Structure 1
Amino acid sequence: MTTRRDVVMGAGALTATLALPAAAAPRFASRRPPPGDRRFVSRAVEERIAAVSARIADPELAWLFANCYPNTLDTTVFEGIVDGKPDGFVITGDIDAMWLRDSSAQMNPYLPLAAADARLRTLFRGVIARQARSILIDPYANAFMRDPAAGTNLSWAKEDRTTMKPGVAERKWEVDSLCYPMRLAHGYWRATRDAAPFDALWAEAARASMRTFREQQRKEGRGPYSFERKSQIPSETMALGGWGPPSRPVGMIHSGFRPSDDACQFPFLIPANLFAVRALRQLADVAKEARGDTRLAADAAALAAEVETALRLHGTMRDTHGQAIWAYEVDGYGNAHFMDDANIPSLSGLAYLGCVRADDPLWQRTAARAWSTRNPYFFSGKAAEGIGSPHTLLRQIWPMAITMHALNARDDATVRQCLRWLKTTHGGTGFCHESFDIDDPTNFTRKWFAWANGLFGELILDVAARKPHILAAPL
């Protein structure tokens, strides 16, 4: 049976084979679609590309930024009208479906520009509305179809043993799938103070999200969700008849899958639960400020407080020196394991998401351990070093992890090194990928992965704001 892993890894191999030799075209010719073929054009985004690119001394880095930053708008956005209001569908790239997580993350780099661009605001309204309608189709699903009446077009999901509904592309229950739309809504509200997206539909989806979180606290039974998939890859399915490994109800939220779409080893995924605390408080802010819905705000805040208390009691473990660090997953019975995965929410990405303070000692110890050989998915080779994922097997580094390490860094040397690695591991394509071989960056997975491209764009904007001297000098 074909799986998502087969598709994305096969696409990477094909791209590596077909990559143009450097002499076939000008070395830094734009890899963007011609202007007339771009799916969405934002004046504010184009102006930002020009302004920031002019401040980057390294021509290859400037080229990579100009290709990557607008990639979501250039290639993945589909606009429409539903019930007289904007609709926005955002595919991940080389998979023709919309993940709640990916679509939120893909749009995030453009939030600072939304206030100055009316067309961009319309697109955000459409994406927020589409996410709300998708959640109301099935809050347990992670990915959705463009046509809400269609069955899945994903070959690997067609025979899944779960309750598949029309409009659902894949039904892997991941806590972060409901957190990301909350984060996007909050970011949009903070950037624009535009209350238009936060209508009754949005509020209904918010309540459905909170109801799902409470069901998956599993205080009164295991809840309604189960999932099984026929696959030779154990992480593609949930154990024990599709209900997943056991957990003791301690107040955290039980997750079936990680943000990598791989099954959890222990069902309380700590980065996702920390993200839920942050996202629920963001939801409370929007409900109160944009809608005046004090009841929804109070319910969200109460659930956030409950999960936070459970995390403090059950979400940490001791490292080999006896110091407390955040675990990656726990089960509530006292069992825990440590690793980190490049997909966000990760332990490394907690400060980026606002789940912890960047100077928090507990998180700093955790992040340092994640970026080391004490993390079984930390790899180092001739091309770079960084964090990978069980999703892409061993010896594969994810550019997203290098990007996150640079966003976390406060010293110039680390930021420069990360930029060098990113500049030299695009495999001649001018874009970021899902992962690349530690010794050979032309061996990569996913030729078209808009989330990784957008996150790289965020990094360049971040460096331009807080360390402009790094961009002003050759790498």
Structure 2
Amino acid sequence: MLPQYATRLVAAGAAAASLVGPVLSATCQSYTSYSQYRHEPYSTGAYALSYQRPEPACRTFNSTAVEDAILQIKNLTTDPDLFRLFENTYPNTLDASISWRGFAANNTEEELAFIITGDIDAMWIRDSANQVAPYRSVLKSKDDDIASIFRGALNLQGRYLIISPYCNAFLPPPEANLHVQPNGASYAVTPPYDHHVVFTCNFELDDFGAFLQLSHDYYTRTGDVDFFGKFQWIQAIQSILAASEALRKPTYGPDGAWIPPAYTFQSQTMTAFGTLGNNGMNYPVNYTGMVRSPFRPSDDAAIYDFQIPANMMLSRYLEATAQIMEKLPNAPQGLAGEMREMAAGIRDGIEQYGVVTAPNGQRIFAYEVDGFGGQNLMDDANIPSLLSAPSLGYLEANDTIYQNTRKFVLSRSNPWWCQGSVINAVGSPHIKPGAAWPMAAIMRAMTSDDDDEIINSIWEVLQSTDRFGLIHESVNSFDASQWTRSWFGWGNAVFGQMIMELAERKPELLKESFQPRHRGSL
């Protein structure tokens, strides 16, 4: 019997003439299993990090541009552990997560790419966008080998956003013939969805932002404006705008009458963050101009629905992608203007309701608000986060309110700040107190201009892998052997992105030693 991972791709190759990617050998091991063990040759540094790349024949996509980038970073780095972690993580999406590539059944020019989140056989809109985004560093033309992955991801994400805009994770398209089992969990969701299309239906606003950001990245790097007018991108934007407008509505109308929400969610769960209270409607909200996000980027239920980082992301990339829309001759008249108008309204709402006074008297961004005065002062490791605001392009890193917020987030004032001898980083209620997320330490480095802070953050990430050489979801801040998820595709992608960005803005830091005796001090 073939390993599950190989079975899926061999079946796709036999049944789908549209398959354009390599068919894996029957001897290829499931990467979910492969990533649970250390493999030689180990890196020659103190951390002896495992080599975690599959054999070339077992990789789900091979890109010359990405392989060239790996060699470029090898020549820039001196620390063997740092290079090994980059060597494993940067290509990880291509090595193991491109579950299927092909074309739409009704259009043989419409590329599709089904990208699994890692150890779960489903495609999250947000995760898949973040898993592909780091390759913008090597994307220079629509003819590059990696460009088809961007187009395939955007086309399939667009399809899903049209079919079920309130859902967040999806099963393979019929064209793939992958036969993945539907999610057996029971949810009561409004509006209803097709269980043979949708894997989970937690509405997370950052899905919209992630799709728009990936669209912006592809357009900015390639200038390929024609792509956006060919298939369903315009309809996907219309679906995003319609759903967002529905979720801007308050709980009560001008006359005080209750307004039924556009989206509700209830499930049987052992955790309060796995369902929405108030009969699936969550806490009431006032009108703010922002868009509700009943679930966070962590898939956890929000306390207050106006999640500030997700609204930052949506505003930023609605404005950015309006520039694409206005260049499309087949775009409906006024659609680019609608995008800009919503972006401006969201930004105004953030400034009016999302900036609050912290206990120390400083003005900071809240994580969540309800528009009635309710505010949740915290940050979560999952991106978009408050910490990530400059990386999103929403504001400059030297913005005063951001700097105040950053100090709050990276301190004991943030209830999800995890401090310890292994790693100091923001955690998440998705796991538990004391479980720091390396992804947050990576984002700390990505949003800092301080060399010592960047070096120390990277050093902590290196020692948090428990010698596996991959980015875990979370790690006990005092014990690197206690972690969750050996294969976390999103975290791997963000580390690769950080190194590629440092190669551009601070290449001298990649020459540093990150061995234990060279730990930086903050």
**TM-score normalised according to structure 2 size:** 0.84
Is residue 360 of structure 1 aligned with residue 382 of structure 2? no
Code of the residue aligned with 1:201 in structure 2: it is Q
Is residue 99 of structure 1 aligned with residue 124 of structure 2? yes
Partners of 1:123 and 1:326 in 2: how far apart? 35
Partners of 1:252 and 1:393 in 2: how far apart? 29
Partners of 1:453 and 1:291 in 2: how far apart? 39
User: Which among 229, 234, 242 is matched to residue 203 of structure 1?
Assistant: 234
Residue matched to 2:18: none
Code of the residue aligned with 1:66 in structure 2: it is E
CA RMSD of aligned residues (A): 2.2
- Number of aligned residues: 461
Partners of 2:338 and 2:62 in 1: how far apart? 39
In structure 2, do the counterparts of structure 1 residues 148 and 128 end up closer, same or farther at CA, with 3 Å as the change threshold? same
Code of the residue aligned with 1:146 in structure 2: it is P
What's the CA shift string for 1:104-147, capped at 9, x where partnerless?
11111111322255221122111110011011110000101113
Residue matched to 2:315: 277
What's the CA shift string for 1:250-270, capped at 9, x where partnerless?
221111100000001011111
Code of the residue aligned with 1:105 in structure 2: it is N
Runs of 4 or more, structure 1, over 6 Å off, are 21-26, 149-152
Contact 1:381–1:439 under 8 Å retained in 2:
yes
In structure 2, do the counterparts of structure 1 residues 19 and 121 end up closer, same or farther at CA, with 3 Å as the change threshold? closer
* 3-state SS of paired residue (1:197): helix
* 3-state SS of paired residue (2:266): coil
Residue matched to 1:81: 103
Q: Report how far residue 28 of structure 1 moved.
A: 5.2
Residue matched to 1:231: 269
In structure 2, do the counterparts of structure 1 residues 15 and 75 end up closer, same or farther at CA, with 3 Å as the change threshold? closer
In structure 2, do the counterparts of structure 1 residues 242 and 152 end up closer, same or farther at CA, with 3 Å as the change threshold? farther
What's the CA shift string for 1:350-397, capped at 9, x where partnerless?
110111111111111111110110000001112111100000111101
Q: Report how far residue 19 of structure 1 moved.
A: 4.1
* 3-state SS of paired residue (1:227): strand
Contact 2:50–2:469 under 8 Å retained in 1:
no
Q: How does 1:177-216 map to 2 (within 5 A)?
A: 177-199=207-229, 200-216=231-247
In structure 2, do the counterparts of structure 1 residues 69 and 242 end up closer, same or farther at CA, with 3 Å as the change threshold? same
Contact 1:269–1:330 under 8 Å retained in 2:
yes
* 3-state SS of paired residue (1:441): strand
* 3-state SS of paired residue (1:79): strand
Residue matched to 1:108: 133
Consecutive unaligned residues of structure 2, counting only runs of 5 or more, are 1-32, 254-258, 515-522
Residue matched to 1:304: 343
Contact 2:49–2:468 under 8 Å retained in 1:
no
Code of the residue aligned with 1:303 in structure 2: it is M
What's the CA shift string for 1:293-319, capped at 9, x where partnerless?
352110100111111112211111101
Contact 1:213–1:253 under 8 Å retained in 2:
yes
Q: Report how far residue 290 of structure 1 moved.
A: 4.8
Is residue 445 of structure 1 aligned with residue 477 of structure 2? no
Code of the residue aligned with 1:453 in structure 2: it is N
Contact 1:217–1:249 under 8 Å retained in 2:
yes
Residue matched to 1:123: 149
* 3-state SS of paired residue (2:103): strand
In structure 2, do the counterparts of structure 1 residues 133 and 249 end up closer, same or farther at CA, with 3 Å as the change threshold? same
Code of the residue aligned with 1:164 in structure 2: it is Y
Residue matched to 1:474: 513
Residue matched to 1:49: 70
Q: How does 1:306-455 map to 2 (within 5 A)?
A: 306-455=345-494
Is residue 217 of structure 1 aligned with residue 238 of structure 2? no
Residue matched to 2:188: 161
Q: Report how far residue 473 of structure 1 moved.
A: 2.7
Partners of 2:401 and 2:494 in 1: how far apart? 25
What's the CA shift string for 1:198-249, capped at 9, x where partnerless?
1251100100000000000114623331100101101000111111111112
* 3-state SS of paired residue (2:267): coil
Is residue 249 of structure 1 aligned with residue 270 of structure 2? no
Partners of 2:423 and 2:433 in 1: how far apart? 14
Is residue 38 of structure 1 aligned with residue 59 of structure 2? yes
Q: Report how far residue 321 of structure 1 moved.
A: 2.7
Q: Which has the higher contact order (CA 8 A, sep 6+)?
A: 1
Contact 2:49–2:467 under 8 Å retained in 1:
no
If each structure's helix is expressed as a fraction of its own residues, which one has the higher value?
Answer: 1
Code of the residue aligned with 1:208 in structure 2: it is S
| 248-257 or 429-438, which deviates more | 248-257
Code of the residue aligned with 1:101 in structure 2: it is R
What's the CA shift string for 1:134-171, capped at 9, x where partnerless?
1111000010111359998464x631111231311110
Is residue 143 of structure 1 aligned with residue 169 of structure 2? yes
**TM-score normalised according to structure 1 size:** 0.92
User: Which among 71, 81, 101 is matched to residue 92 of structure 2?
Assistant: 71
Contact 2:167–2:200 under 8 Å retained in 1:
yes
Partners of 2:39 and 2:162 in 1: how far apart? 47
